Structures are given as C-alpha cells and as structure tokens.
Amino acid sequence: MNLTIGLLYLVSAVLFILGMKRLSSPETARSGNLISAAGMFIAIVSTIPLLSGVTGKSAFHHHLLNYILIIAGILIGLIIGALGAYLVKMTAIPQMVALFNGVGGGAAALVATMEFLTHAHHPGTISSSFAITMLFASFIGSISFTGSLIAFGKLQGLIERPITYPLQKIVNGIILFGIVLLGIYLAGIAHNPVIFGWFFIISLLFGVLMVLPIGGADMPVIISFLNSFTGIAVAADGFTINNVAMIIGGTLVGSSGTLLTILMCKAMNRSITNVLFGAFGKVATKTSPSASIKDQNVKPITADDVAVMLAYAQLVIIVPGYGLAVAQAQHQVRELEIELEKRGVDVKYAIHPVAGRMPGHMNVLLAEANVPYDRLYEMDQINPEFKRADVVLVIGANDVVNPAARNSPGSPIYGMPILDVEQAKQTIVLKRSMNPGFAGIENELFYKPNTRMLFGDAKDSVSKLVNEVKKIK
C-alpha cells in the first residue's frame, strides 16, 4: 500500500466517523449518510491501483476476465441493491436491512474462504494466527449470512413462530464444539481444503440453527447483533488481506452495532443471552393470563362513539404499533391529529422504544406522514402523562402496552418496560381481531373495565374516526 492510497483510506475513515456522528441527530442525519457514502466511494476508487499489486503482475490483459467480472459484479449488485432499496415498502424495511446485512456477511465469509484456499495451495505461507483470523471471519460471516436470511424469512412471515425441538441447545452446543474442533485442526495441524469446506458448510448451518428458535419479536435485536457480526468479519478480513480501510470500517460497525444491540436489549429489559436462547414467543403462545380475566368479554365500540370521546377530550395520546404500519394508516392518523387540534385537543404520540419491528421504525413511518418530531414522546417522557389523558388510542400495538409485563412474573415479557396505558381514563384499542401479538402473548389490557375495542383494519377505522370527528359541530 503506497502513501497516496493510505491517505485516501484515512480520508474515507474520517468520513465514516463523521457520517456516523451526524446520523445521531435528525437535522444532520441525511447529510451524515451521504458523507459515509462519499467515504465509501473514495475507499473503493482508491483500491483500483491495488488491483495489479495483488496479483504481483501488472499486465492488465493477463487479467482481463477478472476485471470484466469485477465490473459486472458491481453493476449487478448496484441494480439489485437499488431495486431492493427503492421498491421495498416502508413497513418491510427491517427485512431489507436484514438482507443487505446478510449478503455483506456472505461476502465476508467468501473473501476469507478464498484467502484460506489460496494459502492452502502454498503450504507454509500462513502462520497459525493468520489462519485463525481467516477461519474466524469465515465462521462469523457465514453465521451472519444464513442467520440474516432466517431473520428475513421470519419478518416476512415465511417462517412462523419459533422452531424448537428437543435437546436443541445441546445439539447446537455440539455443533459449535465441532466447528471449534475443525477450526483448531485447520489452524494448527493441516490447512486442508476439504476439511475447510466442511467447516464453511457447518458454519452456514449453525447460523440457521441459531436464529430458528428465536421469536419474530426479537428479530430487530438479532439483525443488530448480526450487523455487528458482519462488521467484525469484515474487520477480520481486513487483517488477512492487510487492508486498513476494511479494518476501520468493519470495526466501527462491529463496535457500534454491539452497543446498539445492548441498547435495544435494555429497552426490552432483557439480556442478549435471554434473546438468543429464550425461544421467546414460543412458550407463551398457549398460556392464558388467568381464568378470571378469560371469563370477561371484551367490549366493542363504534367509531362514532370514539369520535365523540376524542372531540371533547383535552389530552389524547396515540400509541402507534406495528399494526398501524402494516395497514399504512400513518397518513390517516396524521389527519385525525390535525382535526383534533383544530378543536383544541392536545394530541401526543407515545413511542415505545421497540414499537414496530425495529427501534425508531415508528418514527420513520410517522415522519413519512409529516407528524412533527415534537409531538413524538419517548416512553419515559410520556408515562407520567397517561394519568392526565382522557383518551388513549392504541393503534395496532399490543405487547408494548401489555400489563403482564408488570403484573405477571410468569409471563415471558415480564420485566419489559411498557407504556402505562391502563392509567388513562379511557383506552380505545384499534385491532383487527383478538389474535395475540407478534410475541404470542394474551393481553389483559383488552379486558380492563375502561378499555373498549374498535375492531377492523387500522386504516379504515382511523378514516372513519376522521369523518366522524369532522361531523361533530
């Protein structure tokens, strides 16, 4: 690596850091992303002079096919990436991020694999520590690849509830142990390509097995977790091919992704081990809250009644959830907010840290509908206000308002911080049906004396509310 390339890599590293820094404020976030993209562009372009250096031969025509394939590969990736990024619906963004992360992990695993196989042809060219780095990158990248694909399948609804089987943890433990043994053999005894092939395949399998038992509600944490995995794998690849830009880029993602994963777990009051091994959402599917609650019926309500309550309220708090996102009801909700404000009603949005499918997902959707930032309140800010609220509209949210998190120690979500919706004078739950939420847990809130259910598609229901509120003179 010559001085110019080194300095250009330094520039791109600085741009990555500045970009991530600017991503931490709504005003500068967009420019932050563009700055990171500029850093990426510089890093990739300044790599071009290295191409001849890698082969040791500078003759361009010797490697014409290689260069054609590089350009074709980049173009194909560009087209697929652009189509994916611009055609995906806003609600499906979490699974799109999972896919983009997965392919990154796959690329990291392949790069490490190829490095290993190349060196295996020339015995004695790698030290054990280098071999370990390659094996590590291949292992972590493979997990990230197949794990992200499973996460995609779960968020897309292709794979339903967590898949568990007897002795699952023991089987996974044995497989992990087998991978470690193969790794030790490959690094210390013989750089055998066939054994390495098995190492690679079993690592891919392990990624599948690791994510299968994890419930859909925990997928955001898993995506963040695998995102940092890919970062670490990329950094390890950077060590094996001596590329400082990859080390810095990968490490930045690895460490920030780890922090983000921890923050997300904290928001749910769970540990990462509990998320990984808890099979969350499985056990709970059939446990009902308690017989006394089960005996009660839910109390449905009509849109015109809700409209009257809303129109004469002083403070209305809206709790948006994934159901709102699925129904694409954010614009109607904004319309309702405007109508209520015209009548002097104070409208606030209560955003649970894990509302939607990812932290911040709900904010993105409401921003799309032009809801001002200052109406969005985080959990700690809004919880003391529920007492004052005349009406709380729970739109397509379920687990984040489930009192079981506070009251029933046996519940799988026990201990998760929730929005104190039940303290409000009146709670209206907009829901499609009585099916339990994504985590598969019954919700006592629906049976409380001051809760009414407005059944139907969130978009239709909110549209009706808007019309009814308009009619009230």
Partner 1 sequence: MTGSTVGLFLFYIFIMAIFVGFEVISKVPVILHTPLMSGTNAIHGIILIGGILVLASASSLLAFIFGFIAVVFGSINVFGGFMVTNRMLEMFKRKKK
Q: Is 410 in the site for partner 1 (CB under 8 A)?
A: no
Does 259 interact with partner 1 (rule: CB under 8 A)?
Answer: yes
- Residues 112-131 binding partner 1 (CB under 8 A) are 113-115, 117-118
Evaluate whether 197 touches 191 at the Cβ level (below 8 Å): no
Q: Which stretch binds partner 1 (CB under 8 A): 219-227, 283-291, 298-306, 453-461?
A: 219-227
Does 347 participate in binding partner 1 (rule CB under 8 A)?
A: no
| Residue 252 interacts with partner 1 (CB under 8 A): yes or no | yes
Q: What are phi and psi of 408, to 5 degrees?
A: -115, 105
Q: Does residue number 147 form part of the binding site for partner 1 (CB under 8 A)?
A: no
Candidate residues 5, 96, 143, 458; the one interacting with partner 1 per rule CB under 8 A: 96
d(CA 152, CA 150): 5
Pseudo-torsion of CA 452, 454, 458, 459, nearest 10°?
-130
74 vs 174, beta carbon nearer partner 1? 74
Does residue 435 interact with partner 1 by CB under 8 A? no
Does residue 65 belong to the site contacting partner 1 (CB under 8 A)?
yes
The answer to whether the beta carbons of residues 464 and 303 sit under 8 Å apart is yes
- Of 153, 183, 207, 353, the one binding partner 1 (CB under 8 A) is 353
Q: Order of strands across the sheet with 376-378?
A: 376-378, 346-351, 315-320, 391-395, 426-431, 451-455
Element at 428 (helix H, strand E) = strand 426-431
Q: Contact between 206 and partner 1 (CB under 8 A)? A: no
Q: Catalytic one among 218, 237, 399, 420?
A: 399
Closer residue to partner 1 in complex, CB, 136/446 = 136
Among 6, 173, 188, 372, binds partner 1 (CB under 8 A): 372
Position 86 contacts partner 1 (CB under 8 A):
yes
Asked if 460 is an active-site residue, the reply is: no
Selected binder of partner 1 within 147, 213, 289, 359 (CB under 8 A): 359
Q: By rule CB under 8 A, what string of x and - marks binding of each residue 9-48 to partner 1?
A: -------xx-xxx-xxxxx-xx-xxx-xx--x--xx--x-
Q: Is 235 in the site for partner 1 (CB under 8 A)?
A: yes
- Rule CB under 8 A: is residue 49 a binding residue for partner 1? no
User: Rounded to whole angstroms, how far apart are CA atoms 108 and 144?
Assistant: 9
**181 scored as a contact of partner 1 (CB under 8 A):** no
User: Of residues 8, 202, 315, 364, which one binds partner 1 by CB under 8 A?
Assistant: 364
Please report which residue ranges of 278-431 form alpha helices under DSSP H: 291-295, 303-311, 322-327, 330-342, 361-368, 379-382, 404-407
In Å, what is the CA distance from 3 to each residue of 7, 10, 50, 120, 235?
A: 6, 10, 12, 31, 21
In whole angstroms, give the CA distance from residue 232 to residue 165: 30
Choice from 168, 172, 256, 269 touching partner 1 (CB under 8 A)? 256
Least distance (Å) from partner 1 to the CB of residue 252? 4
Contact pick of 367, 390, 450, 456 for partner 1 (by CB under 8 A): 367
Q: Which residue has the tokens 């909700």?
A: 333
Q: What is the DSSP string of 350-365?
A: EE-TT-TTSTTHHHHH
How many residues belong to the site for partner 1 (CB under 8 A)? 115
**315 three-class SS:** strand
Among 378, 410, 434, 472, binds partner 1 (CB under 8 A): 378
Give the residue from 354, 344, 466 showing the smallest Cα distance to 419. 354
Quickly list H helices, 212-243: 219-240
Which residues participate in catalysis according to the annotation? 399
